[in-house]
Structure 1
Amino acid sequence: MMCAQMLRLQKKQSKCFVTFYKPIERALDGLDNWYQKRLNWAVRHRRTIIAGCFGFFLLSLICAKGIGTEFFRHRQQSYFCSITMAYRSSRRTCPGIGSGIDRKVAEEI
């Protein structure tokens, strides 16, 4: 019974709908066929594809040498070195934690 619900007879489409939809359907089918052919070729020629990818990678490395640095931000030495720390005094915090953090920060810098 469920099969009968799923396989209902399709309603006949109007002439306007068919006129508009058929060219789109043909174009999409053509695109599917073109993609299938290209994908089959790529699967059968794996070495060529890998060599091409490697070649493009080397070409991009060569082209990267020509990129100027005028758009890169200048390094600021003090940009990462300023840290402001505020401690709350509370009975719940253990004494000595703050000094341990200060010591770790001083060692890292």
Structure 2
Amino acid sequence: MKRFCLALDLKDDPALIAEYEVYHERIWPEIAASIREAGIMDMEIYRISNRLFMIMETKDDFSFERKAEMDAANAKVQEWETLMWRYQQALPVAKPGEKWIFTDKIFDLKLQ
């Protein structure tokens, strides 16, 4: 199993943030299916203010490149991503076109 932690910002608008959270109370079934089919075993999203943190646990053979290919070929995923971008904004450090950005692990209790 592999773990990835990523970050993204929401637009700093309380009404938009509330709408975004409502969508995530029960995501579309096709989106949940596409996440699982890509080899993601668990996914959690946390928020503080307008900053989001996603924690993903995946199968060992999971690939972000393969997930991107699957997403590009899935019209429902494209519809979801377009809708979510209404609420999201890139982190200040993001390169053009980047959304979720990998975070750097700086501490692990198991290694202490």
Normalising by structure 1, we get a TM-score of 0.19
Considering fraction of residues, name the structure with more helix. Answer: 1
Greater Cα radius of gyration, structure 1 or 2? 1
Considering fraction of residues, name the structure with more strand. Answer: 2
Normalising by structure 2, we get a TM-score of 0.18
- Give the structure, 1 or 2, with the largest relative contact order (CA under 8 Å, sep 6 or more): 2
